[in-house]
Amino acid sequence: MSAPKKQLPLAGSERVPLEGAREIGPANPNETVDVTIRLRSRAGKKPIVNAAEFTKPIEKRIILSRKEFEQRHGADPDSIALVESFARQHKLLVKEESPARRTVILSGPVSAMNEAFGVELKEYEHPSGRYRGRTGLVHLPAELHNIVEGVFGLDNRPQAKPHFRRRQGRGGVRAAAVSLSYTPIQVAALYNFPTGVDGAGECIALIELGGGYNVTDLSNYWSQLKLPETPTVSAVSVGNGSNNPTGDPNGPDGEVMLDIEVSGSIAPAAKIVVYFAENTDAGFLNAITTAVHDSTNNPSVVSISWGGPESSWTQQAMTSMDEAFQSAAAMGVTVCVAAGDDGSTDGVTDGLNHVDFPASSPNVLACGGTELVASGNAITSETVWNELANNEGATGGGISDAFPLPSWQTGAGVPPSANPNHNVGRGVPDVAGDADPTTGYVTLVDGNPDVIGGTSAVAPLWAGLIALINESIGKSAGFINPLLYKSASTAADFNDITSGNNGAYSAGPGWDACTGLGSPIGIQVAIALGVPPPAHAKRTGT
């Protein structure tokens, strides 16, 4: 259908069908749809963050409280009022408003949404399942055009996938005993994480787009590890998301449990809050903004183990999520994101190389993967994780096509893209950690002991480390990339991974597009971020 008169296309909102999708017909006109409208900041085009602020030592940074951030960068009340008026005109229900999150959620039938946004919603069949979709651009009346950044939720295709990999053909306690596998505490010991701290006073937020956790499994797992205290885990429902275990250890429960078990084992006194949302662009965005702006739980670290190739996202989605990460930085919240498990192509079959988003946002700590081999309490070798030949994945990494090279990466030796365009962009990942399922993590999922890897394990690993460092500093470390890159040029804060490749990119001395700066030497990372050296001694492991 053609766009109604007096409506203008919203730049960056264009959608095409999923590859392999077949159009079935119009969406049910009476189906209820929730649409998230993301508004522009009341500060206009002023930047949310001052890049120079993050080159300062953490104790000297100016960090905004959540209330201060809302007052400076939240949605303008007049903008919200215009959206409310738009909703009334189209008989849509205003379901939720959040000035801090710059979000208004509208609800109504497909027929009203088609008219309101100048789209034609249809049903599609895809190998991954049916979804409601649209093609082309979203349209808005002129009075909303300068205040709306994005419209999400009209299309409910699955937007992201979890970045975990189970060890193939081997599972259970016996396999873990005779194969290379580690508890999260053992990995923390091998990486020399700070001791004498346990994450007390910190909150780690985990973003999940499906599955759930089982309290009994967690209790049994903590007992198995003989933790000195039992981590506190709670769930927050975002939209229609909820803690809903599937009972299938091969499904998203594996992601949820891996994230909780890794982060909780490393920082057992930290509060673990799991934000569950639907696996759509709207659900993903709302989960992130809900966690970042949560003034009840006050997360200081966010861990994200879901994502998809940049080419699968709309520009409006990447812009809105990146601005949410800028907001996190302004409020002193560190965001750790898995870099993907499908090598340099990120699973795309167009013959080109792709990086995973949201790991490619320049406002997150992108986490790549290694194969970690140890004997006793010492690392004997560490190489790039690449088991694609055995169908066990490989670390994501490469050069962004969506984001330019950030200032703090200019001296790191980030190469042009291996694609024919040789684009110069944001290099992924920033850091790394054990991810190969053949040297994976002992887990318990839906009652089943197993060994799991993937860059999904690395994001919560780093989140746990940051929680320990935050406790040591007495202040949230927040956006740490500039300090890590600066320190890496003058000190040995990382295990430099120099062997292996992820497809188009090879490891080498210094930063590379497989493992970034390398895997952490935890005490040295802590010192680089402001923890006094005498506070540390090498952890003995469990």
Q: In sequence order, which residues have a C-beta less than 8 Å from that of residue 412 and are 6 or more positions away?
A: 427, 485, 488, 489, 510, 511, 517
Which listed residue (259, 341, 382, 401) is catalytic?
A: 259
Strands 122-125 and 103-109: unpaired
CB 422 within 8 A of CB 352: no
- Measured distance CA(120)–CA(1) in Å, rounded: 6
Q: How many helices (H) and strands (E) does the chain have?
A: 13, 27
341 part of the active site: no
**Whole-angstrom distance, CA of residue 17 vs CA of residue 468:** 44
From the candidates 41, 303, 456, 476, which is the catalytic residue? 456
Alpha carbon distance 221, 246 (integer Å): 19
Task: Determine how many CB atoms are found less than 10 A away from the CB of residue 263.
Answer: 32
Cα 280 to the center of its chain, rounded Å:
14
Q: How far apart are CA 417 and CA 404, in angstroms?
A: 12
CA–CA distance, 41 with 49 (Å, rounded to integer): 12
Q: In whole angstroms, give the CA distance from residue 96 to residue 82.
A: 15
What are the tokens at 244?
């809903």
**DSSP states of 433-450:** EE--GGG-EEEEETTEEE
Our answer to whether residue 294 is catalytic in this structure is no
Residue 213: helix, strand or coil by DSSP?
coil
Three-state SS for 242-294 is CCCCCCCCCCCHHHHHHHHHHHHHHCCCCEEEEEECCCCHHHHHHHHHHHHCC
527 Cβ neighbours under 8 A, 6+ residues apart? 493, 533, 536
Catalytic residue among 255, 371, 387, 430: 255
Is 255 a residue of the active site?
yes
In 3D space, the residue among 427, 466, 517, 471 whose CA is nearest the CA of residue 333 turns out to be: 466
Question: Which residues does the annotation mark as catalytic?
Answer: 255, 259, 456
